């Protein structure tokens, strides 16, 4: 019996050949609030042709047999490929790899051009404060007809994408793209100071927790989660959502600010038992935060209070 291990036809996979394009940057340093970037590219797709090629394949042939005996028993005289009482023997095939000529079918990718792409990108930048701008870099990339924007952040500002518009039209063999990105710079340091939550306590159904100085209330969001803890059963979630600004009272003090939340006014009655109250403060962007990864875990802070009612 012959075991064929060489394939008579073989399809090879290749990665798709990507469309081409350009990357351009705009560094905002406060001297120019708007810029127009022009980018060119080509939209392509990948097709395949098939070719037959002569090559060498391999198969496994049986070239003979050998006798293998196992077991021992009374009257066993010694080694050797011979059966005796209490001993069994069988024929084991001997294999060899044999090369032979064969034809393989391979898949060859090639690029087909669909159309040219001309992109006109406008970046408008505004600042929410008069803080010095060290330089925020915006990177616009055109790949085929796929347009994207990213940032290289100084971590001095939150880069908030307030508006994004992208329109494409075909004219003959050219696709024209008009895009607008409206970005607001929000100074990061004051907000990061606000998000330094300190103590947390409960008094007369009012949950209080300390914060840093609050300069811009609109960019600070709050949420609260209240869980009733039970020893012999599953915990019960009593409340878990973002709080409206009217549900959080901010009071300034000498070192920062304190936030007060009346739990009863939220519709939660803390009766007899043990409760876990977790308050969270976070940066709240009125748009998409483009440089979120630059700040990591600094964008929110939380404190948990274990509260017993007898």
> Do 252 and 117 sit in the same domain of this protein?
no
pLDDT of residue 111: 93
Distance CA 161, CA 125 (A): 9
Judge contact between 100 and 7, C-beta under 8 A. Answer: no
Distance CA 53, CA 124 (A): 57
SS3 category, 3: strand
pLDDT of residue 28: 92
Judge contact between 122 and 32, C-beta under 8 A. Answer: no
Lowest-pLDDT range, 29-38, 68-77, 206-215? Answer: 68-77
pTM for the model: 0.74
Task: Provide the CA 53 distance to its chain's centre, in angstroms.
Answer: 42
* 155 located within any domain: yes
Structure tokens given for 286 = 């009125």
pLDDT of residue 74: 54
Residue range 136-157: average pLDDT? Answer: 94
Q: Does the pLDDT of residue 197 top 70, yes or no?
A: yes
pLDDT of residue 124: 96
Number of domains in the chain: 3
Residue range 212-227: average pLDDT? Answer: 93
> Do 275 and 144 sit in the same domain of this protein?
no
- Residue 6: pLDDT band (50, 70, 90) is very low
Q: Which residues contact 141 (CB under 8 A, 6 or more apart)?
A: 21, 22, 23, 147, 148, 149, 150
* 251 located within any domain: yes
Residue range 192-206: average pLDDT? Answer: 93
* 7 located within any domain: no
The dihedrals phi and psi of 219, each to the nearest 5 degrees, come to -95, 10
Closest CA to 10 of 104, 108, 101, 109: 104
* 157 located within any domain: yes
Q: Does the pLDDT of residue 223 top 50, yes or no?
A: yes
Judge contact between 200 and 279, C-beta under 8 A. Answer: yes
Q: Does the pLDDT of residue 7 top 90, yes or no?
A: no
* 217 located within any domain: yes
> Do 211 and 283 sit in the same domain of this protein?
yes
pLDDT of residue 188: 94
* 8 located within any domain: no
* 2 located within any domain: no
pLDDT of residue 272: 85
* 238 located within any domain: yes
Distance CA 194, CA 155 (A): 16
> If you ran DSSP here, which 8-state letter would residue 154 be given?
-
Cα angle for residues 293, 296, 301 (degrees, 5° grid):
140
pLDDT of residue 13: 36
Which structural domain range is residue 99 located in? 51-106
More reliable by pLDDT, 135 or 168: 168
Q: Which residues contact 261 (CB under 8 A, 6 or more apart)?
A: 206, 207, 208, 222, 224, 243, 247, 248, 249, 279
pLDDT of residue 220: 95
115-126 confidence digits (pLDDT tens): 999 999 999 999
**Does an H or E element contain 151, and which?**
strand 146-152
pLDDT of residue 78: 52
């Amino acid at each position: 019996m012959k075991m064929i291990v060489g394939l008579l036809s073989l399809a090879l996979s290749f990665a798709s050949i990507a469309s081409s394009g350009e990357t351009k940057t705009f560094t905002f340093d406060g001297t120019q609030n708007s810029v127009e970037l022009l980018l060119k590219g080509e939209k392509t797709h990948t097709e395949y042709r098939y070719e037959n090629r002569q090559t060498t394949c391999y198969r496994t042939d049986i070239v003979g047999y050998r006798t293998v005996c196992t077991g021992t028993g009374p009257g066993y005289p010694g080694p050797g490929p011979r059966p005796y009482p209490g001993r069994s023997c069988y024929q084991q095939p001997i294999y060899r790899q044999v090369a032979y000529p064969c034809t393989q079918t391979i898949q060859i990718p090639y690029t087909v051009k669909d159309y040219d792409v001309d992109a006109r990108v406008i970046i408008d930048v505004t600042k929410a404060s008069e803080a010095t701008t060290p330089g925020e870099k915006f990177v616009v990339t055109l790949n085929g007809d796929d347009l994207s924007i990213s940032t290289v952040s100084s971590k001095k500002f939150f880069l908030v994408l307030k508006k994004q518009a992208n329109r494409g039209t075909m004219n003959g063999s050219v696709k024209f793209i008009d895009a607008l990105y409206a970005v607001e710079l929000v100074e990061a340091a004051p907000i990061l100071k606000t998000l330094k939550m300190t103590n947390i306590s409960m008094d007369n159904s009012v949950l209080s927790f300390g914060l840093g100085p609050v300069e811009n209330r609109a960019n600070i969001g709050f949420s609260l989660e209240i869980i009733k803890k039970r020893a012999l059963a599953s915990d019960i979630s009593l409340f878990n959502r973002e709080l409206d600004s009217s549900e959080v009272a901010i009071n300034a003090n000498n070192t920062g600010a304190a936030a007060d939340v009346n739990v009863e006014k939220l519709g939660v009655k803390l009766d007899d038992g043990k409760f876990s109250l977790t308050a969270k403060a976070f940066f709240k962007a009125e748009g998409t935060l483009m440089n979120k990864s630059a700040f990591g875990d600094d964008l929110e802070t939380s404190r948990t209070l274990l509260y017993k009612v007898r």
